[in-house]
Amino acid sequence: MDIRVIPKPVEWAPAASSFVLTAETAVQGPEAFVTNIRRYFSTATGFPFPAASSRTNVLQGRIEPERFDRPGAYELVITPESVHAIAGDEAGLFYAVQTLRQLAPPEIFRSAAVYGVPWEIPCGRILDYPRFAWRGVMLDCSRHFFDVAYIKRFLDLLALHKFNVFHWHLIDDQGWRPEIRKYPRLIEIGAWRAQTVLGHSSHTPRCYDGKPHGGFYTQAQMREVVAYAAERHITVIPEIELPGHATAAIAAYPELGNTVEPLTVSTTWGVHSHILNAEESTIRFFQDVLDEIVEIFPSPIIHIGGDEVCMDEWKASPRVQARLRELGLGSERALQGYLLRRIGDHLSAHGRRLLGWDEVLEHDPGTEAVVMTWRASEHGVQAANRGHDVIMCPKDYTYLDYYQAVDQLRSEPLTIHGFVPLEKAYAFEPIPQELAAEGAGRVLGGQAQLWTEYIPDPERLHYMMYPRALAIAEALWTQSSRRDYADFRRRAPHHMRILQRLGVHGRPMD
C-alpha cells in the first residue's frame, strides 16, 4: 500500500495486511511514549490503551541509542500482531508516533469518539531520520497578537509535521509582547497600539480601523509555552529585536530613543526610522531584558533581530555622534557592531549564543554568532564561508506571508507583496549549490516565516500557512534525492483534509 506521510520518510517497505487498533490494544514503553499514544489515539477511538506486557495486539516503543547514529532517527515495524517503534532518542520515538498518527485512518484526528471506524494501520517497515537539525517556523506575534491558547494549538500543528523549532517573534514596532518584570511599562504601554492601518500600508491616504489592538504574554504563560513545546520536542527561540524595529520599546521608555518628541506604538507597517540610541544605559536596559528572557527560555540560542536598521537618526543625533567619538568608532555601522558585540558577550556570559538576521554579518558579530539569512541565499553562503552556523530562510522560498497564487481574479486576500507558490516552497533547498562541503556542514537547517502585518487572525494564518508549510517541512526533513514534487502533490491533499478535521483551513489546492 502507498502511504501519504509528510514529510516523506527515508525508507518505506510495505507489507500485506494491517494492524488493527481495538479496545484491547495495549501500550508498552517509556512513559512519554505511553502518554503520547494515549494523547493521540484515545480520544477518537475511545480505547484506553492499557499498559500490559502482552506480545500481541500491542504498540511497543523502545529507545536503542546504539542502533542509530543520527538524532531523531526511528524505525517502525508494523505487523498484524504488533507495532514496534524503535528510536535512537526520545525525539525519534516522538516522531515515530507522529508517523503512526498519519498512517492511521484520518478519523483519528477527531476530538470526540467516533464508532464503527476500522482502525487499520498498514503493515510495513519505515526507517526514518531528519536531514536537518533545525526545522523551524517563525510566527510574528507583534504585528498581530496571538494568545497562548492559540500558540499551543500552533505548536500542535508544527509537531504533526515534525518541525522542531518555534521561532517566536515577540517584539516589533507595533507591539512589545513579553512581560519583563524590571520594566513594566514595556507591556503596560508597549503592548497596545491605538489602531491599525487598513488595507495595504503603501496606499494613500492611509485609513485606520480605529480599534485598539494588543496583548502580552506573562512570564508564567511563556514558561508554559516552553514546557508545552518541549513535550512535543520543539525548542522555542525567542526574538528580542534591536536596535531597529524598536518603536514599541521606545514608546514605553522614551529614554531608549533618539528623538525629543515622544513616540507611540506604531499603527502602520514598513521599515521605521526610529531605532534605539547607543547609550550605555540602553545597552544595560537590554541586558536586563535578556537576563529575564534567558531565565524563561532555556534555548541555547537567543535571537536579537538586527535587521533593517535605518541609520538616519544616528547620523542626525549629536549624542550618537559624540558617542562614536567617545568609543573611537569610525561609523554608525561600527557602532551597531559594538552594540551587537556587547549584547553577544552578555549572552555568552549566560552560556547562550547570539542569533541575528543576516544584516548582522555586516557588523562583524564574532564567529560564534549564528546567522539567519532571509535575503538571497548568497548571504548564507558568505556567512557559512566566514565560519558561522547558518539557518536558511530565503524570502523567495520560505516567506509564507507572500502571495501563493497570481491574483488574476482578485480572489487572494491582501498580502504584503511577493510570490511564493507551492511549487516554489517545495523547491526550497537549504544548502545552496555554491557552498563547498565544509560550509554545507554549517547549515543547521531552515524555516518558514509567518510575518503577520496582513495576517490578523488564525483563520488567515492557516490560509497562508497550508499547504506551503507541508512543503517546507519536507524540504527540511527529507533527503533531497527522495524529494519529488509530483509525489508530494499526491500526498498533500490527504493532509489538507486532516487539517480541515482539526479546523485548520489552508488554501485549497488547485
- Reported as type and span, the H/E element at residue 125 is strand 120-128
User: Which CB atom, from 128 or from 453, has the smaller least distance to ligand TNX?
Assistant: 453
Q: How far apart are CA 79 and CA 20, in angstroms?
A: 10
With contact defined as beta carbons under 8 Å apart, do 274 and 245 qualify? Answer: no
In angstroms, rounded to a whole number, what is the distance separating the alpha carbons of residues 344 and 347?
A: 5
Residue 154: name the closest of 172, 136, 142 by CA. Answer: 136
CB 139: neighbour CB atoms within 10 A? 24
Give the separation between CA 234 and CA 197, rounded to whole angstroms: 34
Nearest distance from C-beta of residue 241 to ligand TNX, angstroms:
9
DSSP state of 507: P
Tell me: does residue 239 bind ligand TNX (CB under 6 A). Answer: no
- Length of the chain (residues): 510
Binding-site member from 12, 49, 374, 466 for ligand TNX (CB under 6 A): 374
Specify the residue, 59 or 355, whose C-beta has the smaller distance to ligand TNX. 355
Whole-angstrom Cα distance, residue 229 to residue 227?
Answer: 5
Query: Whole-angstrom Cα distance, residue 306 to residue 373?
Result: 12
Nearer residue to ligand TNX within complex by CB, 279 or 308 = 308
Q: Nearer to ligand TNX by C-beta: 138 or 180? A: 138
The verdict on whether 173 is a catalytic residue reads no
Instruction: Identify residues 433-472 at the interface with ligand TNX (CB under 6 A).
Output: 451, 453
Among 128, 313, 332, 401, binds ligand TNX (CB under 6 A): 401
Are 371 and 446 within 8 A, CB to CB?
no
Q: Are 400 and 469 in contact (CB under 8 A)?
A: yes
Nearer to ligand TNX, 206 or 497 (CB): 206
Backbone angles phi, psi at 13, to 5 degrees: -115, 100
Give the active site residue among 84, 161, 245, 379.
245
Q: Report how far residue 42's alpha carbon sits from residue 57's, in angstroms, rounded to the nearest whole number.
A: 15
> CB–CB of 467/422 below 8 Å?
yes
Encoded amino acid at 69, one letter: D
In the complex, what is the shortest distance from the CB of residue 431 to ligand TNX, in angstroms, rounded to a whole number? 21
**CB of 402: closest distance to ligand TNX in angstroms?**
7
Nearest residue to 75 (alpha-carbon basis) of 131, 2, 124, 16: 124
Q: Which of 279, 307, 308, 429 is catalytic?
A: 308
Q: Which of residues 343-362 bind ligand TNX (CB under 6 A)?
A: 357
Q: How far is the CB of 357 from ligand TNX (least distance, A)?
A: 4
Cβ 422 to ligand TNX, closest distance in Å? 18
Name the one residue in this structure whose C-alpha cell is 519583563: 180
Q: Is 245 a catalytic residue?
A: yes
Shortest distance in whole angstroms from residue 52 CB to ligand TNX: 52
# of chain residues touching ligand TNX (CB under 6 A): 9
Query: What x-and-dash track marks residues 192-211 binding ligand TNX by CB under 6 A?
Result: --------------------
Of 88 and 356, nearer to ligand TNX (C-beta) is 356
Identify which of residues 308 and 487 has a Cβ nearer to ligand TNX in the complex.
308
- Least distance from ligand TNX to the Cβ atom of residue 265, Å: 15
CA-wise closest residue to 344 among 240, 257, 443: 240
Query: Of residues 74, 217, 399, 428, which one binds ligand TNX by CB under 6 A?
Result: 399
* Maximum C-alpha span of the chain: 78
Q: Nearest distance from residue 369's CB to ligand TNX, in Å?
A: 15
Amino acid identity of residue 127, one-letter, is: L
Q: Which of 89, 172, 239, 401 is catalytic?
A: 172
SS (H, E, C) 207-224: EECCCCEECCECHHHHHH
Q: How far is CA 289 from CA 180, 183, 249, 376, in A?
A: 6, 8, 11, 31
Dihedral of the alpha carbons of 248, 252, 256, 261, in degrees to the nearest 10 = 90
Cβ proximity to ligand TNX: between 37 and 450 the closer is 450
Q: Which of 416, 420, 444, 475 binds ligand TNX (CB under 6 A)?
A: 416
Between 130 and 238, whose beta carbon lies closer to ligand TNX? 238
Quote the least distance from Cβ 10 to ligand TNX, whole Å. 32
What character string, x for contact with ligand TNX (CB under 6 A) and - otherwise, covers 301-340? ------xx--------------------------------
Look up 308 and say whether it is catalytic: yes
Q: With both helix axes pointing from N to C terminus, report the angle between 468-477 and 458-465 in degrees, rounded to the nearest 10.
A: 50
Distances (CA, A) of 316 to 38, 312, 340: 62, 6, 21
Catalytic sites, residue numbers: 172, 245, 308
Which residues of this chain interact with ligand TNX, rule CB under 6 A? Answer: 307-308, 357, 374, 399, 401, 416, 451, 453
